[in-house]
Amino acid sequence: MKVLDLIHEINSLDSYKRYGKVTRVVGLMIESKGPDVSIGDVCTIHIDHSNKPQTVSAEVVGFRDENVILMPFSNIKDISPGSIVEATKKPLQIKVGSGLIGKVVDSLGYPLDGSDLPKGLSSYGTEHMPPNPMLRPPIDEGIEVGVKVIDSLLTVGKGQRVGIFAGSGVGKSTLLGMIARNTTADLNVIALIGERGREVREFIERDLGPEGLKRSIVVVATSDQPALMRIKGAYTATAIAEYFRDKGLNVMLMMDSVTRVAMAQREVGLAIGEPPTTKGYTPSVFAILPKLLERTGTNQLGTITAFYTVLVDGDDMNEPIADTVRGILDGHFVLDRQLANKGQFPAINVLKSISRVMNHIVQEDHLKSAERLRDLLATYLNSEDLINIGAYKRGASKEIDEAIRFYPKIVSFLKQGTSEKISLEDSVQILKALVRAGE
């Protein structure tokens, strides 16, 4: 049987190489006459200038008339009309395995420091279909992230997907670093998409730290790289997480940020002629988001618990990308600039945030304690203006009096130092003790 399989494999091999020629380059887009390719195939563009042959990899993103539209993975300054385009007839594949743990790689899976890839890695495609919804096990177990406000009031389950919504400079990266260092997940996969080059090393050394890096794989696509590389960074990180999930691990995927992935897709869409629709975003943006985000979660072998940061322009939580992502994910945490300005970190607005699976994965006494704290916090904030100007008189409302008494304790409970680690069990016990004190 093995011999027959080998003969079939040999007979199915395509022994022809297919070539085309670059006809023009416009902005991000390369047009070529031929070769015979399909959407998603990777092509190699051969450049021969001053007797220094070079190659540039590009992906087929569309067709115009009989021409092939390609987007490059790197700089295109040396490409000229007539450059040879060779078809590989394969989509992008990366090398992945346990040897990547502790490494910082680019969107194509190569170490960012220029070192060689470790041996023993396997080839793995970057684009896969989401798990069959009927084969997804339900989320029935919590996962510890080591951040008190999340573990106690917004408990996250293994395989849950959560959005972290915030404007710039409110502490998203710091929160991701805390989660990466403190979580009980088997492995972290962190995607830094569209970040400033300066921030990459700062995140790895300050926010993530050596302790976090030794159990993480970091995928980096900085803002200066071509749009396709930024998109592929998100797909590569997701594929790495899927690989380890299929090995039976509980993986923590963190992507900062999904908004920049959408912006990169908008660049590609506009370049190939898609019409701009909502706030300039092209239809393909809203098509790829569910395909990307639905790939994480549970399957029959393991779990991917995912945190996606979403940049909101002017702190507008209803802008198109934020609204779309919120509708796809299993919960959202809102980072509030006013809380950050008051010195409350992490600046999670508990009343605007929700974990959609918390009710199914925590015990009843934990859930009641969380609801009680939310009630006290909401009561105080609803009356805060009256309290601050002295218009509220003590004794007028028993609920408001109790909320005033508890508010300083609640604020203290919601704060946590960036280097402070608190287990899920301890967080819940502190919450219960705080609520019991008022009974």
DSSP line for 231-277: HHHHHHHHHHHHHHHTTT-EEEEEEE-HHHHHHHHHHHHHHTTPPP-
Residue 49 has pLDDT above 70, yes or no: no
Predicted local confidence at residue 114, as pLDDT: 85
Residue 46 has pLDDT above 60, yes or no: yes
Radius of gyration of the chain measured on its C-alpha atoms:
25
* Pairwise CA distance, residues 229 & 175, whole Å: 25
Predicted local confidence at residue 75, as pLDDT: 76
Predicted local confidence at residue 17, as pLDDT: 75
More confident residue, 75 or 67: 67
Q: How confident is the model at residue 389 (pLDDT cuts 50, 70, 90)?
A: confident
Q: H helices within 142-257, ranges in order?
A: 148-153, 172-182, 197-202, 209-213, 227-245
HSE-CB of 426 using CA atoms within 13 angstroms: 9
Predicted local confidence at residue 272, as pLDDT: 83
Predicted local confidence at residue 195, as pLDDT: 86
* Pairwise CA distance, residues 345 & 146, whole Å: 14
* Pairwise CA distance, residues 47 & 70, whole Å: 15
Residue 50 has pLDDT above 60, yes or no: no
* Pairwise CA distance, residues 240 & 247, whole Å: 11
Residue 319 has pLDDT above 60, yes or no: yes
Q: 188-246: per-residue pLDDT in tens? A: 999 999 988 888 999 999 888 888 899 999 999 999 898 999 999 999 999 999 999 99
Q: How far is CA 365 from the centre of its chain?
A: 33
Predicted local confidence at residue 387, as pLDDT: 80
Q: 61-74: per-residue pLDDT in tens? A: 888 888 999 998 88
Q: 328-365: per-residue pLDDT in tens? A: 999 999 999 899 988 899 999 999 999 999 999 999 99
Residue 78 has pLDDT above 80, yes or no: no
Predicted local confidence at residue 271, as pLDDT: 85
User: Is-above-0.85 flag for pTM?
Assistant: yes
Burial of 375: CB neighbours in 10 Å, binned 0-12, 13-18, 19+: middle
Q: 14-23: per-residue pLDDT in tens? A: 566 788 999 9
Predicted local confidence at residue 59, as pLDDT: 92
Structure tokens at 135: 């084969």
More confident residue, 279 or 244: 244
Mean pLDDT, residues 93-115 taken together: 93
Residue 161 has pLDDT above 90, yes or no: yes
Mean model confidence pLDDT for the chain = 90
